[in-house]
Amino acid sequence: MSDNRADRPMTPSGGHIDRRQFMTYFAALSPALWAMTQEGDGRITKDMLAHAEAVAGLAFTDAEREMMVDGLNRNLEAYEQLRAVHIPNSVHPALLFDPVLPGRAPDVRRYRARRTRHPEVRRPADLEEAAFWSVTDLAELVHSRQVSSVELTRMYLDRLKRHAPKLECVVTFTEELAMRQARRADADLAQGRYRGPLHGIPWGAKDLLAEDAYRTTWGAKPYEEQVIPYDATVVHRLEEAGAVLIAKMTLGALAMGDVWFGGMTRNPWNLEQGSSGSSAGSASATVAGCLGFSIGSETLGSIVSPSTRCGATGLRPTFGRVSRHGAMALSWSMDKLGPICRTVEDCALVLDAIHGSDGKDPTARDLPFDWDAGLSPTSLKIGYYKSAFEAEHDWYDFDMQALAALRSLGVEPVPVELPDQIPVGALRPVLGVEAAAAFDELTRSNRDDLLVRQDERAWPTSFRRSRLVPAVEYVQANRARTMLMEAMDAVMDGIDVFITPSYGGSVLLTTNLTGHPAVTLPHGFRDDGTPVSISFIGKLYGEAELLAVAKAYQDATDFHLRRPPEFA
């Protein structure tokens, strides 16, 4: 970072101040202070206030400033006391977000649980042919004991080791753990204990999920050697389901983009292109046939975006459906964990294993999820995001074909529109402020300089910028968010699911703020051979219906069956 005095801000008297003084300078109007130890006495003055007001869009009189100064300096002392307390990333704020509005109850229906079975599946002559198979079919091989988990694990480990350097998709291989889990899966099966469709299936964890025997780097240089001494709930539940963890996958540093401390994760359809992020390695390796499935996370597009770029099928569950205990916190009111797979049904099988409360994540809820693979979309009320489909965009033809394919299933979707009475883009500071709080110590220690990305859109800049958002504006944004939730509740009142261009209108930001679930899957390929995607949005905790509609559409197409030529 530049230390040129000419780049520094000036005091009212015309003198330059250094970075640390600058952070105190705006303390008056930013309750989440950026200030660190100051030169001099570090006190706020009336002159500082006169300049700081512009940051918050305010104007006070000199007499009003006089009355504010002493209290603001007392606030500074309180901030310094708080900063003496180490607050781990895993500690939740006392205020919790609930996507279900007061007086409402989640519309969660019960179904007879059924998954697709393919008992006719036979082991291929070359086991590597099964690398691109769905979990549904891999499960048949393992359950029928045509293939041992040890064999399957070695096959995927070999592929991942061979292709990871090209994809730049692995932070840490967990081979010792994987082989131990695979041997246990085989021993359990030999004794008649079958844990379900994930039994013996190799998977990869986005490296913001803790596994106590291995480092958890969050994709960021400052945390490169970090070891968290417990397993994330999702990691533990997948182990209990018999799944085999073979690697910790790359993510854009601190869950942004596809650039991590070791490089840029690649799109398997075009190695000159990043895989998008932040669940970069999870999507890239799954689509390249190097994992049975993977786990990603989303705060604002981190499952949707890499699934789109790489042609994966990704599920962003309802906020609160899956415990985030043991996962890096970025935004306590927006973070969600979900599966990235090759098929919709794979996502359903993984969700079935990981959902529910655990007594550790205070936002996680116990609500039923009954996966019925045979649920017909004609039994549901389905909408389409009309203005997003009608808008001119690069994927217009593909989107129209997806809508036609849905209609060919006997469904006549009704037009819906997302709320427009709330300026949704103005709510983005909710994420920025929470992220700045999650990485407060990183900013104040200047260790944010170690992050690879250092530009105006990167986390270091965002964290610093978010320190200047007044607390009142953060609260007001959350109040407007409640109004957005109420408006979205009205949209979903008459439908179960709606189909939308993945980036149509405000759908990505709106549904991440309201906590609604989404499935993103490939629905075509451009002339350059890279995939594009369509998304389905469901009701809160309505993943059973959401996945059923998405599965019916996917079964009527073959885009998810295509393989990147370099990895086939």
Q: Residue 130: CB partners within 8 Å, gap ≥ 6?
A: 123, 124, 137, 138, 141, 147, 152, 155
Query: How many domains is the chain built from?
Result: 2
Q: Are 54 and 154 contained in the same domain?
A: no
Q: Is position 113 within any domain?
A: no
pLDDT above 80 (res 24):
no
Q: Are 145 and 52 contained in the same domain?
A: no
pLDDT above 70 (res 5):
no
Which range has the worst mean pLDDT, 47-51, 134-138, 367-371?
47-51
Q: Are 30 and 149 contained in the same domain?
A: no
Last residue of a domain, one of 35, 57, 85: 85
Band of pLDDT at residue 82, cut at 50, 70 and 90: confident
Band of pLDDT at residue 56, cut at 50, 70 and 90: confident
Q: Are 49 and 174 contained in the same domain?
A: no
Q: Is position 336 within any domain?
A: yes
* Count of alpha carbons within 13 angstroms of residue 73, beta-carbon side: 13
Band of pLDDT at residue 78, cut at 50, 70 and 90: confident
Hey, which residues are catalytic here? 206, 278, 302
The CA-atom distances, in angstroms, between 258 and each of 287, 518, 532 are 16, 21, 18
Q: Is position 452 within any domain?
A: no
Q: Is position 115 within any domain?
A: no
CATH code assigned at 391: 3.90.1300.10
Domain range for 27: 1-85
Average pLDDT over residues 205-229: 98
Average pLDDT over residues 434-456: 96
Average of per-residue pLDDT values in the chain: 92
- Determine the pLDDT at residue 41: 64
Percent of the chain with pLDDT over 90: 86
Give long-range contacts, CB 8 A cutoff, 24+ apart: 550-554.
550/313, 550/344, 550/519, 550/521, 551/343, 551/344, 551/345, 551/348, 551/373, 552/376, 552/377, 552/409, 553/377, 553/402, 553/405, 553/406, 553/409, 553/499, 553/521, 554/313, 554/343, 554/344, 554/521
Band of pLDDT at residue 79, cut at 50, 70 and 90: confident
Phi, psi dihedrals of residue 176, rounded to the nearest 5°: -60, -45
Q: Are 311 and 162 contained in the same domain?
A: yes
Q: Is position 17 within any domain?
A: yes
- Determine the pLDDT at residue 218: 98
Last residue of a domain, one of 54, 85, 116: 85
Q: Is position 189 within any domain?
A: yes
Last residue of a domain, one of 70, 85, 100: 85
Q: Are 175 and 80 contained in the same domain?
A: no
Q: Are 80 and 132 contained in the same domain?
A: no
Q: Are 38 and 156 contained in the same domain?
A: no
Q: Are 51 and 163 contained in the same domain?
A: no
- Determine the pLDDT at residue 1: 36
Band of pLDDT at residue 53, cut at 50, 70 and 90: confident
pLDDT tens digits, residue range 489-537?
A: 999 999 999 999 999 999 999 999 999 999 999 999 999 999 999 999 9
Q: Are 402 and 271 contained in the same domain?
A: yes
Q: Are 538 and 393 contained in the same domain?
A: yes
Band of pLDDT at residue 444, cut at 50, 70 and 90: very high
Structure tokens at 47: 């002159």
Average pLDDT over residues 315-341: 98
Average pLDDT over residues 165-181: 98
Q: Indicate the pTM of the whole model.
A: 0.91
- Determine the pLDDT at residue 386: 98
Q: Is position 557 within any domain?
A: yes
Name the residue among 474, 327, 537 with its Cα closest to residue 31: 474
Average pLDDT over residues 443-456: 95
Q: Is position 382 within any domain?
A: yes
